[in-house]
Homo-oligomer: A and B are copies of this chain.
């Protein structure tokens, strides 16, 4: 192995272009592949920016050529040479117009045969990829993702900084989050028997920073939730967390829209239009069956309860009579895209969201074809087709049930149909705000109301009176930002009045003592001059995933955990030493017990 000994890189391999022809360069990187051809040796050398073709020619340097014969895949090299126009250009490579004739080669390190290939289309198990993450990250696609992640982080930080936000760090070792998900606990050694919690978000601290007069706060910060993992969840995740004083909803939305605009422009060179559409929660559910609607396509939900409430089809009338509804979506001009078998598959899909069945109609040249048409009078059929704006060639799909099931199944179904029809364009970005969320929802398990966002969210002024009489009808000063069917983030104006906050806790079923025990320091803080304030938090990992066009959040996290919260690379978590547990004053309970 040789050393650098003062040798300095002049260019990244991947940055070389025609303009560099004639230049003497020093490149450093990894051997992607090597081949002998016509007495020459060609080696593709790779670094973070891309690949350059190096030519070893005995007539340029016999010594370099002889060393090059020893090169294997993933050897680490330093090459000194001159850039030439390439004989046979490769238009598929950014550096395809040039090649570098090597004057000197240093082998800085050797490499054993890697257990996974360093190429994007390598089809190995994700577990193996995570075990050898340091090799997996060498892939061009992964390097691109992390360059993008860095870039978006920079854009966000600079934008917020220019707009008067201060990045202020909040504690990682803190107090359990009341009313949140499950916390990660950290046993204290100095205060034996007590525990810190890792933060689920800096919510309380950022509100305290507003009480502290910091005016505008942000942080790109790790948060933690000990929940069972789904595809796009990680035990630790990153938030862009913001809070502002002396603002109302429009101020926050305005600043955040400009931020999104800047991210899309500077990171992807995509122009997005502001202001984004704002959809009240109720409308989002009624039109899209979802509070995070994908707006890239239609197939909106239509309520036909009124039209069918007196028909002979018991499934429909039963749903309406028991307080539910019958709703449909019109898959415009796609009657022929789905066979009966295809529709049965859609029905199976809808059933996974609780639907008992899926009624359908095809509007053919012969009129309506449908297994349920026999239950419906011509008048009813006409009313339905009119309400659904059905034309020849359309496919109509219906679900009748309670509203929750209708929304959930049709909401997912419209996306599923769009996927099957391949009409979703990854490069189209439809951003929207969903507003006027309900403040409370009823928690069956706990048998009480819980906060939809969190207990510090302010109710809408016009609904204040219902706080005690009709909590579920109270809407919140809350807003989510939605992109292509994903929730990118959400926030709210906060309660900044001690009395209102106490009333809120009461609605959540806390006695004054309980409220004080859980949130005492916040209630205390509210006494001493709290400004009106509000904020928002974005899921940074998910944002990057969508910007990178990835389907999996682990593609944009350098060292993610698996679904069972382990790291195949480091084998974390692991057993602790007895001595350490003793110092902490804790014991592992025997599993067999």
Mask for A543-557, Cβ within 8 A of B = 1, else 0? 000000000000001
A587 on the interface (CB 8 Å rule)? yes
Contacts of A588 in B (CB 8 A): 192-193, 585-587
A213 engages B137 (CB within 8 Å): yes
Q: A235-B173, A531-B109 are in contact. Are A589 and B586 (CB under 8 A)?
A: yes
Say whether A36 faces chain B, with CB atoms less than 8 Å apart.
no
Contact, CB under 8 Å: A205 / B587: no
CA gap between A497 and B176 in the complex, in Å: 44
Q: Is there contact, CB below 8 Å, between A529 and B161?
A: no
Does B109 lie within 8 Å of A564, measured CB to CB?
no
Beyond A212-B133, A215-B47, whether A585 also contacts B574 by CB under 8 A is no
Q: Which residues of B contact A167 (CB under 8 A)?
A: 150, 153-154
The answer on a CB contact under 8 Å between B158 and A567 is no
A173 to B229, CA, bound (A): 15
Stretch at the interface among A183-191, A296-304, A340-348, A503-511: A183-191
Contact A154 B158 (CB under 8 A): yes
> Is the Cβ of A246 less than 8 Å from the Cβ of B574?
no
B-side contacts of A90, CB under 8 Å: none
A:146-166 near B, CB below 8 Å: 146-147, 149-150, 153-154, 157-158, 161, 166
When distances are taken between beta carbons in the complex, the residues of chain B under 8 Å from A182 are 189, 580, 583
Instruction: Please state if B175 and A184 are interface contacts (CB–CB under 8 Å).
Output: no
Q: Are B213 and A176 in contact (CB-based, < 8 A)? A: no
A172 contacts chain B at the CB level, 8 A cutoff: yes
Q: Which of A329-337, A360-368, A520-528 contacts B (4 or more CB under 8 A)?
A: A520-528
Q: Is A323 an interface residue (CB 8 A)?
A: no
The stretch that binds B, out of A195-203, A284-292, A393-401, A411-419, is A195-203
Please tell me which one of the listed residues B109, B112, B146, B214 contacts residue A168 in the complex, with CB atoms under 8 A apart. B146
Closest to A174 in B: B572
Known pairs A185-B576, A567-B171; A3 contacts B166 (CB<8 A): no
Complex contacts, A1 vs chain B, CB 8 Å = 497
Q: Which residue of B lies closest to A73 (CB)?
A: B529
Q: Are B133 and A208 in contact (CB under 8 A)?
A: yes
Whether A575 and B195, one on each chain, are in contact in the complex, defined by CB atoms closer than 8 angstroms, is yes
| B190-A187 in contact (CB<8A) | no
CB-nearest residue of chain B relative to A204? B570
Residue of B nearest to A8 (CB): B251
Q: Which of A38-96 contact B (CB under 8 A)?
A: 46-48, 74-76, 78
For A245, A565, A570, the residue with the greatest tally of chain B CB atoms inside 10 Å of its CB is A570
Q: Is the CB of B138 within 8 A of A497?
A: no
Complex interface: chain B residues within 8 A of A138 (CB):
212-213
- A115: nearest chain-B partner, CB-CB: B528
Whole-angstrom distance between the Cβ of A249 and the nearest chain B Cβ = 11
A196 to B236, CA, bound (A): 12
A248 at interface by CB-CB < 8 Å: yes
Out of B158, B193, B521, which one reaches A158, CB within 8 Å? B158
Please name the residue on chain B nearest to A218 by beta carbon: B150
CB–CB A168/B558 < 8 A: yes
How far does the alpha carbon of A174 sit from the alpha carbon of B569 in the complex, in Å? 10
A239 nearest CB across to chain B (Å): 12
In chain B, what residue has the closest Cβ to A496? B109
What residues on B are CB-neighbors of A494 within 8 Å? none
Indicate whether A431 reaches chain B with its CB closer than 8 angstroms: no
A587 to B569, CA, bound (A): 29
Residues in B with CB closer than 8 Å to A154 are 157-158, 161, 167
Which residue of chain B has the shortest Cβ distance to A165 in the bound complex?
B150
Q: How far is the CB of A161 from chain B (nearest CB, A)?
A: 5
Chain B min CB distance to A204 (Å): 8
Which residues on B sit within 8 Å (CB–CB) of A580?
182-183, 185
A236 interface neighbour in B171, B194, B572, Cβ under 8 Å = B171
Tell whether A109 pairs with B190 under 8 Å between CB atoms, given A521-B569, A576-B185, A586-B589. Answer: no
Are A236 and B175 closer than 8 Å at their CB atoms? Answer: no
Q: Do A530 and B567 touch across chains, with their CB atoms under 8 A apart?
A: no
Report B-chain residues with C-beta under 8 Å of the C-beta of A226: 189
A538 / chain B contacts, CB cutoff of 8 Å: none
**A485 lies within 8 A of chain B by Cβ:** no
Contact partner of A76 among B30, B238, B248, B531, CB < 8 A? B531
Q: Is there contact, CB below 8 Å, between A574 and B176? A: yes
Provide the bound-state CA to CA distance between A376 and B391, in Å. 116
Chain B nearest CB, measured from A185 CB (Å): 6
Say whether A186 contacts B184, CB under 8 Å: yes
17 CB-based A-B contacts, threshold 8 Å: A4-B247, A28-B246, A109-B496, A134-B211, A134-B212, A172-B172, A172-B198, A174-B570, A185-B187, A186-B186, A186-B573, A187-B187, A190-B564, A192-B588, A192-B591, A196-B573, A208-B569
Q: Which A-B residue pairs are the 4 nearest by beta carbons?
A: A111-B529, A137-B212, A74-B529, A194-B573
Q: Which residues of A contact B (CB under 8 A)?
A: 1, 3-6, 8-9, 12, 28-30, 46-48, 74-76, 78, 108-112, 114, 132-138, 143, 146-147, 149-150, 153-154, 157-158, 161, 166-176, 182-198, 204-205, 208-209, 211-215, 222, 224, 226, 228, 235-236, 238, 245-248, 251, 461, 496-497, 521, 525, 527-532, 557-559, 561, 564-567, 569-576, 580, 582-589, 591
